[in-house]
Amino acid sequence: AQSVTQLDSHVSVSEGTPVLLRCNYSSSYSPSLFWYVQHPNKGLQLLLKYTSAATLVKGINGFEAEFKKSETSFHLTKPSAHMSDAAEYFCVVSDLLRGGSQGNLIFGKGTKLSVKP
């Protein structure tokens, strides 16, 4: 079965400092991985996706993630945090390659990012 583990439930950084949100996945196949962000009282917005084309994936708002098969990791990074980055971030794997699946998403528990001025 596929799953994702987000190693930190809460990360706090100062504005202008780097962001690292950690995610490890478990998959029997080559996975499709995503990061979504959820701002308060809003829906889930796609930040970036990995679908085996390139291991370093660039997303919106300056975020990027690197797929490391040897470490089964897909950590999300940003060089310099902005106040508007404060939100909850979800690492997600698609169940697509399981027989009969319609690509249901399996979510991690989320990491709440706080950005201090």
Partner 1 sequence: EPEVTQTPSHQVTQMGQEVILRCVPISNHLYFYWYRQILGQKVEFLVSFYNNEISEKSEIFDDQFSVERPDGSNFTLKIRSTKLEDSAMYFCASTGRRGQPQHFGDGTRLSIL
Cβ pair 60, 5 in contact under 8 A? no
Q: Indicate the residue among 41 and 70 with the shorter CB distance to partner 1.
A: 41
CB crowding 44-76: b at 16 or more within 10 Å, else e: eeebbbbeeeeeebebeeebbbebeeeeebbbb
Q: Indicate the residue among 43 and 117 with the shorter CB distance to partner 1.
A: 43
Find the shortest distance in angstroms from Cβ 103 to partner 1.
4
Per-residue tokens: 103 = 């690509």
User: Under the rule (CB under 8 A), what is the footprint of partner 1?
Assistant: 32, 34, 36, 41-46, 49, 51, 90, 94, 96, 100-110
Find the shortest distance in angstroms from Cβ 54 to partner 1.
16
